Structure 1
Amino acid sequence: MILIKNGKVHLGNGKILENADILIKDDKICKVESDIDEKDVDIIDAKGKEVFPGFIDPITHWGCLGSTFTDMDYEEKTDPVTPQMNIIYAFDAENCTIQELYKAGITTVGVSPSDSNVIAGQIAAFKTYGDSPYEMLARETVALKGSVTSTVKKTYGDQNKAPKTRMGISSILKNALEEAKKYDPSKEDVAKDEGKAILKKVLNKELPLIVSANTKAEIDGVINLFKDYDIDLTICNAFMAGKSKDSIIASNISLILGEQVNMQDHNDEIDLDKIIDIHEAGVNVSLSTSCDMGAGGQEGLLWNAINVYKAGLDSEEVLKMITINPGKVLKIDDKVGTIEVGKDADVVIYTNNPIECFDSSITHSIIKGKIVYCKGECV
């Protein structure tokens, strides 16, 4: 057992407990209160430090570049519609673990197929420390990934195949949904089709759909295309989301703002004031390191959070964008995203609040009840 003592505990739901203790047994949080007295425990003295739920990066490609970082196993560019593809078979545990994301407070990642296909495949959630995909797996098939970005047009335009245009992307996407709507495997004359079965789950709201869209035209196009479908929809990357503020607020979707620091093509279009307006209107807004080019560095998630904080949003609200909000998008908020009794013991400890203080540094990272990093030492 591990006992974290006397920390300033940020629960991840907007509440803070001063001088609080957290008792961890096996891989779960079993107590969160003051003055816990427990025998035979490993004590972490968090006095003067700040304690957070492990951060969640909801859309990444970590672990899918192979041992040489050149395999690009998250890209299947042979067909624009591949919902049957499952990212778990592309995930390389060693490739993810050596990134040491836990040193940046990231304990869970949503690992996604690329933006190359209109419907690219299934997203899975992984912990950021472990020896095998199945040890690290937090939950398989948490969402389906789609894209309407220019990456799709380039991928298939270079092959002189459809879709080469935005209208081609929309046509293929709508056709795939309509074919899935008609799919009924209970009929004797209907062949089993794994791809249509996955899309059917999206149409039945059993599985979320996360669609990459960068520009205002792409974002508005996605919202318009799906207005007649009652599905659980999230738009990610969304660099020009501010220009579509009103339609996003009105459409009952979620939003994942992609990696900002290295996206030079879109930096001038990112309006964080309007992103804050969208959040304050009740839209579930998350932050991520994802972009068309892959993923930002391990510090990218916190840089994004710092940018939103500097734009004027309260740090506890920003914290939600890298903890409970992405947990909700990936449907893993029953396990992670807040410090609560019964949830996975994913906890990070900093010298100060890293969203507010540039000079804050991480001292401990705990994943599933195991100390995987203690300042200066990987366990």
Structure 2
Amino acid sequence: MKIKLIYSLLCFLFLGNIIAQQTPAPKQTEAYSIEGATAHLGNGEVIENSLIMFSNGKIAHVGNANSRIARMGTVINAKGKHVYPGFIAANTSLGLAEIDAVRATRDFDEVGSMLPHIRSIIAYNAESKVVETMRPNGVLMAQIAPRGGVISGTSSVVQLDAWNWEDATIKTDDGVHMNWPQVFSRGRWWMGEDPGLKPNKNYQKSIDKLTKFFANAKSYLAGNKTPKNLPYEALQGVLNGTQRMFVHVSGEKGITDAVTICKELGVKNIVIVRGQEAEKVADLLKANNIPVILERAHRLPNGEDADYDRPFRAAKILTDAGILVGLGMEGDMERMSTRNLPFYAGTYAAYGLGKEKALQLITQNNAKILGVDNNVGTIEVGKDATLFISEGDALDMRTNILTTAFIQGRKISLESHQTKLWKRYANKYKNQ
């Protein structure tokens, strides 16, 4: 019996080593100088022949390689390559589920409808096999957001090379996520109803319920707070402006109602998420200084008579209107597809936005919207040395081949289960 138990433990340890993510990189101890690369700073600026130096996890110098300045530490010759700030994926449930078909691995929502006190960060799995597939494409940070209900809970911003959620956290509980009621609903075909879209007869009732919840929360917060009510207390940040309210909503009427009613409820910092048809209410968003986290452009337009390429041009239209635009990942296969974040930004670049402005969607803009732009999002002196070197254009899947990446100055592994399989089978066919 003892021998069987020992063999079983050894088997589990062996399987654990196979399945577990690679060990996170240690804290930076030596300085680095990246010389000769084309540096895309993430704020629209480009330095053709750049010199970037960093130590102790922070960027110490950004300039031209022709400058007569002493190089720090290990010098990386990146001539002919490109340097980018680490990409930031907004609005993703990355690390909250591993296998969609296995219920036990899904932890992105909770039972109930009004759950502002639910914290997604404590469910974040830093050892997710999905998380490690982000890094080879330059996605080094993400906003981990909950799903489900009317008010889903709070999100947090993490870096993607960590032992656990405490190590991963860049900003804890950056905002509360709300799913705005649907203006239109589809008929239940299984009950003989017309499956087409029609006005949601419960729309106003849902808004009234939401309004009442906020009214009760404000009364509670203004009183003696007894008995203790965690959902009401969790709204204090969005009511006093210290937290953002991420409102997941699409459609002209839905966005208009969401902005108007949230302001009436006393919500200070509103962010529109998904934002289909946001360009139709650009003036309203601009007047209220409300940013938009767009979803992926690879979808059909909402309206039957809309231009086929309207979703692809949305970022350009909103940016030209003076609205701060970021890029999120909510939708089908969102966790696995998050690795393609730079290529979705590349699609917006191809439809009028241009490469450097498209790059800003997933660097500076996302950092500003998530409230982490003091430390990440651009390559600037004093900010975290979270950046990577690519052989070519990072927004093009044909040329975004990373050679080196750093998170807070730590040189991280770019290996994943997928890269190992790629190398394995590349060698197989090379030898035939």
Q: Same fold judged by TM-score > 0.5?
A: yes
Matching residue of 1:93 = 126
Greater share of helix: 2
* Partners of 1:234 and 1:256 within 8 A in 2: yes
Cα 1:192–1:153 shift into 2, 3 Å: farther
Cα 1:196–1:34 shift into 2, 3 Å: same
Cα RMSD of the aligned pairs, angstroms, is 3.0
Cα 1:323–1:244 shift into 2, 3 Å: same
What code does the residue aligned with 1:13 have? Answer: N
Matching residue of 1:280 = 320
What is the alpha-carbon distance in structure 1 between the residues aligned to residue 95 and residue 272 of structure 2?
23
Could you tell me how far 1:209 is from its partner in structure 2? 0.5
Q: What TM-score do the two structures reach when normalised by structure 1?
A: 0.87
Could you tell me how far 1:236 is from its partner in structure 2? 0.8
What code does the residue aligned with 2:82 have? Answer: E
What is the alpha-carbon distance in structure 1 between the residues aligned to residue 389 and residue 402 of structure 2?
6
Matching residue of 2:77 = 45
What is the alpha-carbon distance in structure 1 between the residues aligned to residue 184 and residue 117 of structure 2?
18
Matching residue of 2:239 = 203
What is the alpha-carbon distance in structure 1 between the residues aligned to residue 229 and residue 95 of structure 2?
28
Matching residue of 1:75 = 109
Pick the structure with greater CA Rg.
2
Q: Which of 38, 50, 54 is 2:86 aligned to?
A: 54
* Partners of 1:239 and 1:269 within 8 A in 2: no
Could you tell me how far 1:374 is from its partner in structure 2? 5.4
Cα 1:177–1:153 shift into 2, 3 Å: farther
- Name stretches of at least 5 consecutive residues in structure 1 with no aligned partner: 155-162
Cα 1:151–1:18 shift into 2, 3 Å: same
Cα 1:164–1:52 shift into 2, 3 Å: farther
| 1:342 maps onto 2:408 in alignment | no
What code does the residue aligned with 1:113 have? Answer: P
| 1:243 maps onto 2:277 in alignment | no
What is the alpha-carbon distance in structure 2 between the residues aligned to residue 315 and residue 9 of structure 1?
13
What is the alpha-carbon distance in structure 2 between the residues aligned to residue 81 and residue 164 of structure 1?
21
| 1:17 maps onto 2:54 in alignment | no
Matching residue of 2:35 = 5
| 1:126 maps onto 2:166 in alignment | no
Could you tell me how far 1:172 is from its partner in structure 2? 2.6
What is the alpha-carbon distance in structure 1 between the residues aligned to residue 325 and residue 137 of structure 2?
21
| 1:32 maps onto 2:68 in alignment | no
Could you tell me how far 1:146 is from its partner in structure 2? 0.8
Greater share of strand: 1
Matching residue of 1:258 = 295
Could you tell me how far 1:186 is from its partner in structure 2? 6.4
Cα 1:93–1:102 shift into 2, 3 Å: same
Could you tell me how far 1:269 is from its partner in structure 2? 8.0
* Partners of 2:95 and 2:128 within 8 A in 1: yes
What is the alpha-carbon distance in structure 1 between the residues aligned to residue 257 and residue 212 of structure 2?
15
Cα 1:212–1:332 shift into 2, 3 Å: same
* Partners of 1:66 and 1:72 within 8 A in 2: yes
What code does the residue aligned with 1:184 have? Answer: L
Q: Secondary structure at the match of 1:290?
A: coil
What is the alpha-carbon distance in structure 1 between the residues aligned to residue 312 and residue 202 of structure 2?
29
Aligned length: 366
Q: What TM-score do the two structures reach when normalised by structure 2?
A: 0.77
What is the alpha-carbon distance in structure 2 between the residues aligned to residue 133 and residue 375 of structure 1?
21
- Name stretches of at least 5 consecutive residues in structure 2 with no aligned partner: 1-30, 187-199, 421-432
What is the alpha-carbon distance in structure 2 between the residues aligned to residue 108 and residue 352 of structure 1?
21
* Partners of 1:99 and 1:298 within 8 A in 2: no
| 1:352 maps onto 2:392 in alignment | yes
Matching residue of 1:322 = 362
Q: Secondary structure at the match of 2:162?
A: coil
